[in-house]
Each structure stands twice: as structure tokens, then as C-alpha cells.
Chains A and B, each alone.
Chain A
């Protein structure tokens, strides 16, 4: 169905820029323009562990206290990027940095995670305990269930 959302992980953004596959989405700085990630990508994608932020007591400027969840904690220190592709891409599939491939169209149709996750370097059970953010506007990935 598609389109497909690829998630790649690197030790740093610089490593992603230098990657022979993912680096194709990076426009290096020139004399006139700063460098920039190009096209349908989400650089710096955050992957967090659901519920890891605990509960915190928040105080506003007047001293009113409420209890709320803390921001979930990062899964690890890796730097991630999401790249959208209209179809499965052999070059992207061959990248050792590939972590997840998801079929956005299938997810939009209401298919379960076990169907719309085309590839995952971690078990789906573990994937269901994580959240990747942000996701592409117009997508409808559901977390927390396989």
C-alpha cells in the first residue's frame, strides 16, 4: 500500500549526514545557505519509553500545584531520522542503520501494528512500549498494542 516511513538510528546527526544512504537527504551548507535536511524527513525523531517519565508535581507561576506525567524518557542516546518513501526502497532497506519500516497507508486503514510494521529491528512487543514523535501529519500510527 504505502507510503512507507523509514526510521534510521545513528550515533549522531553528523554520522547520519555522512551516511552513504541517508546522507542523500542532507544538503550540505554552501557559501549562500546553511545545511538542511531535505524533503519528507523528520530529523531528530525522539523515541521514548512509554510511562517512563513518572508523575511529577507541577507548580505554576501562582504556586498552584497539579500532578501530571513527566515527559517520557528517551530510549537511548541515538540520533534518529524518519524518511518517507512512496514505495519500499531497496537502498533504504539495505541500510544497516534501518530500525523500523512502517506502512502509513495500512495504518491509516486501521490495520494493527503487526500488519503495518513492515520491518522492525526490535520485537513488536517492545515496540508497543515505545513512542516515536513526531509522526507525519496525516498519519495514524497507534502505539501500545500489537
Chain B
């Protein structure tokens, strides 16, 4: 379609979507009149611009040059403000009165959360669970199971969502269990009701679990709990069960029905694995020696893990350029063939890797930072050089009271590990030794406090994955100055370690761009060009809590950038070139990486030539 026709079509769509008596008198003016989002208002968009008010279904598309698209190829669900579950098909935006869903990719590992097929039941004392019934309430299936009678014994009753298909897990993973619950009848003589997830060995030995005690009512309410799977001594975590459990007491009659809807088990994919049972021994002995003594990049050499013990297996990932010689000499055999990344399961303490001719390796050490007791120790790099930058993946993440330790990822930064004044400075070719007699203090991250549930993924016969939302809208380029504006409600805790992209306007790729995203420090606006990377300005001065709706706006010219959060203090920074050439509005993308806000975005606007600060 010719561009002029497209523009006319877009304008027609906008008028058709927004026409009200007031709008007819002042085309382009939008007033938020309802929905679940706060009643923020915007002034008329005077020049080219777009205003997508997902919460009210009003869209001003004068500056649009094409349709709104979402490349997510999977189905998605989202809740309305009234708790109804709405389903969107592949490539469709999931829109309710709360806004449009903008979620990262997740998998629901409960094989069936729309009926009780595959669930298992543990009864006690002769009170047998009823045949589960399924009713549709608020757009989703509710599975009801009744218990009527007088038990002849005391004990625990269980409804296991993963009964026929325990979920495979490994030590260090962070999971979130969520489900909607209510009851009918009476909770009399029902005690210790818990939503639970416990993990076990491959042989069925119980290791540990996560247990929460929600105060359920006769109305469906969604609950969530997050936890880190851990080994325990020689017991290696292998399978995870999700369930509802409660107790009967012998001789005390019960008459209750439990209603369960869309239980979901999600691995939090962006929270680095941690080691719950990491020991001081592991860290103290974590010395990586490079036999050739020539640093990280070697034409030949032997890398040997000098750990005297391996109570918790370290992850020693060895990657190397394609076509380079094989890695040999690992004494565990079999699994470290050329091209493999060494994993915890493959590594044996005291083993070694010998590179052939031309061997170049980048070594990644992980799992030094765990969720559990604080760790102390000394970590020493014995390589003589730093010609290829190492990646020492001991990130501290969020949370209070942590020692700040950064990964070393950029050339020339071999002297910046760690950044905390509490520990000594990393020097290329030297060692890293913590202050004091015990060395580096690695205070663990509470990964479970960073985790969260996303919107339900409906399953019937196996785990299903939802791809990340990636919403784009081509827009006419602004020239001279412009604003990017958005209102959204994030679902992740403030300490979530992944940046959560809110909106970005760019030139069709990830080069020249203005982005705002949620980080552990709050909302941040970033301006980058091909030549200059990353001018960041904080829109908010404090972390933004989950479930809190807020608006962020940025106004930029060719020489300055201003940003503000919720009509607070306007913060400024330098900028180079925005917004000339910016032709693509993206929702849920930061610098080409799909890491959405994780929540609902009720409104996004681009206004050329005008400031939307404090609107």
C-alpha cells in the first residue's frame, strides 16, 4: 500500500477507534476514562505521534506507518482487573482493561492444569476424594475435589498436580509455584493446609520443599511461592512435585470441597543458578591454574582444577573456537568431547583439560555464589596474562548487604574485578584475594526473593512454553525532538536481576535508540547511538515495587535528554542524536534483547516535537 494511503488508513483507524463527541471536536486528544490503570491523561499529540492506550482500547495512530505486531508465536493468557482470564492466540497481543501483556518467555511444567487427568491423590483414614469435577469460572477451568466423612486415622491428604509426571530439576534452580484456590463447604477439622512443592532424588528420597499456608476463602485467589531447589549431602535433587496438602484428624468429620485452578510451575530462566549448599571448602579451593602460564589465551596448555574436594560440583565451562583442537585429558571420560561445555556433572575434582595446538579457551567459573550461608574464601587466578578477557561469573545480584562483584566481560576490564572496596582489586595476571584472613566474602543472593509467577500457561498433556512478547509498531520519524512515554505495572520483585524493557524507539535495529527499562535501581532511560553506547539516566530514584503502576516519560532533543517518573524530579543527561531517524516503537525489547517488562503495559506514546514530561 502506498505510504499516503497507509497514513490515511491509520488515521481512519484512529478516528474509528477513538471517536467520541469530544474527540470529534478535537481529533487526536485522548482522555483515559476508565479501566484498571490510573487515570493519567495526555495532552493532544500535536505532530506526528502515536498513543496506544491498551487499557481503554483507544489508539491514536497518526504517526504510525504500519500495524501493531507481536512476534510471539505462542498462545498467551492475561487477567482482567476483575480476575477473568483472557486468551490470545499466536502473534496476538493479550489485551485487557489492565493493558497489554508483556512477558518474558516461560514454561509451565505442570503437564495438565485444565483437568485432573494425570493428578494423583493421597487419601487418609478412609475418607476418599471425590471424582474431580471441572467447571469454567472467569474464563478458566476450576477443578473441584470433595472430601466428606469421618476419617479413621490422622494424617496428611494430598492433591498432587504433577502426580503422573514429576518435573525434572537440578540443584540451584529457582522455581515458582502458583495456583488459584478457594473452598466450599467448611474448613472445620481441616488443619495445616499448605501449597507445597518438594523435591526428591531420582530414587524417591525426600530432600526438601517449599511450603506456604495461604488463608484461602470461598473466592478464588491466586497465590505464588518461589524456592531454590537444592541437593542435600549425597542426595541429588532430581524430581519436583507440586501439590496441595492438608491434615485430617481421626474421628473428626470433614465436609469440604477444594477448588483449584491453573496450577503452574515455572523455572525462572533469568535467575542464575545458585548452589544452596555451597561450602567454604569449595570456594577456598577454587583455584584455576593455567599450566602454560601464558594467561587466558593459549596455544597449548593444561587447565587443572586444583580443588581438593568437590562437595558441590563447580561449573567449569570451557568454550573454544570452532575448528580448534579437541580438549583431551579429562579424567572423567566420555562427556567432554570436542565442542562440549563442561558441566557440573561432567567435572571431576582433580581432573584436567589439555588443549591441542591452537587451543584457545574462555573459562567461566560459576556457582561460587549460592543461596544459603555466607561464603568466604580466597580465589586465585594464576594465569600470567589477560590477553583474552576472562569471564568470572560471580555476580552478586540484588538484595541488601551484598558485596558487589562484577563479571569481567569487557576488554580492558581485567583490573575491575571486583568493584567493591571491601575486597582487593583484581589485577591481570595476578590474583584475587579478599580482604582479611578469610578472603573474599560472597554473601549469597536470595534467589527465591527475586522470583515470581507469570500469567498462566494452559496445559493439557505436557509442559508448554510461552515465547516472549515482542510488540512493534513502525512510526514516522521524529525530527529535532520527541518524547517516549509509558505506563505499566511490573510483576517481578524489585531485585529481579534482569533488566525489564518497557519501551524503545529506534531506527529499526538496535543501534540508535532511546530505551527505558526497569532495573533493580528503578526505571532507567538509556540513550545509545552506533558511536556512543549507553547514556543512562534514572527516571526514578528508588526501586519500583511489583504490582505498582507507574508512568515514565523521556523528552529528548539533539543535545539533551530529560526523564521523569510519576511526575517527580526531572533528571537530565547528555544525548547524541535522538530522535532523528527513529522509526520503530518497540515494547518489551531492550537493545535487541527480548526482556519484557513482565507485567501489563497500559499505555505507550511517542510524540514528535513535544515534551510529555509530567503529563
Which residue numbers of A lie inside 8 Å of B, CB to CB?
3, 10-15, 18, 27, 29-33, 36, 38-42, 46, 56-62, 64, 66, 68-71, 77, 84, 86, 131, 133-140, 142-143
Chain B residues whose CB sits within 8 angstroms of the CB of A15 once the complex forms: 322, 339
Is B594 in contact with A38, judged by CB distance below 8 angstroms? yes
Is B200 in contact with A29, judged by CB distance below 8 angstroms? no
Question: Using a CB-CB cutoff of 8 Å, which residues 169-221 of chain B contact chain A?
Answer: 198, 200, 202-206, 209, 211
B467 at interface, CB cutoff 8 A: yes
Give the number of A-B contacts (CB < 8 Å). Answer: 155
Chain B residues whose CB sits within 8 angstroms of the CB of A137 once the complex forms: 74-76, 108, 457-458, 464-467
Q: A70–B160 Cα gap in the complex (Å)?
A: 14
Q: A40-B71, A137-B74 are in contact. Are A64 and B204 (CB under 8 A)?
A: no
Chain A residues whose CB sits within 8 angstroms of the CB of B51 once the complex forms: none
Question: Using a CB-CB cutoff of 8 Å, which residues 56-87 of chain B contact chain A?
Answer: 71-76
B433 at interface, CB cutoff 8 A: no
Is B591 in contact with A133, judged by CB distance below 8 angstroms? no
Closest B residue to A10 by CB, please name it.
B339
Closest B residue to A63 by CB, please name it.
B206
Is B167 in contact with A71, judged by CB distance below 8 angstroms? yes
Is B109 in contact with A134, judged by CB distance below 8 angstroms? yes
Partner of B337, one of A11, A41, A84, A86: A11
Within the complex, the shortest CB–CB distance from A2 to chain B, in Å, comes to 10
Most buried by B among A11, A13, A33, A68: A68
Is A32 in contact with B533, judged by CB distance below 8 angstroms? yes
Q: Is the interface of B mostly helix, strand, loop or mixed?
A: loop
Within the complex, the shortest CB–CB distance from A135 to chain B, in Å, comes to 6
Is B168 in contact with A36, judged by CB distance below 8 angstroms? no
**24 pairs of residues in contact across A and B, judged by CB atoms under 8 Å:** A11-B337, A12-B340, A14-B339, A18-B322, A29-B409, A33-B590, A36-B593, A38-B593, A39-B594, A40-B73, A59-B200, A59-B204, A61-B211, A62-B156, A68-B166, A71-B165, A71-B166, A131-B462, A134-B108, A134-B465, A135-B465, A138-B464, A140-B460, A142-B461
Q: A23–B470 Cα gap in the complex (Å)?
A: 20
Is B339 in contact with A56, judged by CB distance below 8 angstroms? no
Q: A58-B206, A69-B165 are in contact. Are A39 and B467 (CB under 8 A)?
A: yes
B499 at interface, CB cutoff 8 A: yes
Q: A15–B340 Cα gap in the complex (Å)?
A: 8
Question: Using a CB-CB cutoff of 8 Å, which residues 149-165 of chain B contact chain A?
Answer: 155-156, 158, 160, 163-165
Partner of B75, one of A18, A32, A138: A138
Closest A residue to B77 by CB, please name it.
A137
Q: A62–B122 Cα gap in the complex (Å)?
A: 12
Q: Which range holds the interface residue count of chain B?
A: 35 or more
Other than the given A42-B465, A62-B155, A71-B165, 20 more pairs (CB < 8 A) read A11-B339, A15-B322, A18-B322, A31-B534, A33-B499, A33-B590, A33-B591, A33-B595, A59-B204, A59-B206, A66-B158, A69-B164, A131-B462, A133-B462, A135-B464, A136-B467, A137-B458, A137-B466, A138-B74, A139-B464
Which residue numbers of B lie inside 8 Å of A, CB to CB?
71-76, 89-90, 107-109, 120, 122, 155-156, 158, 160, 163-168, 198, 200, 202-206, 209, 211, 238-239, 241, 245, 317, 319, 322, 335, 337-341, 409-410, 457-458, 460-467, 470, 499, 526, 533-534, 590-595
Closest A residue to B169 by CB, please name it.
A71
Within the complex, the shortest CB–CB distance from A124 to chain B, in Å, comes to 18
Q: Which 6 A-B pairs have the closest CB atoms?
A: A138-B75, A134-B463, A40-B73, A56-B204, A134-B465, A137-B74
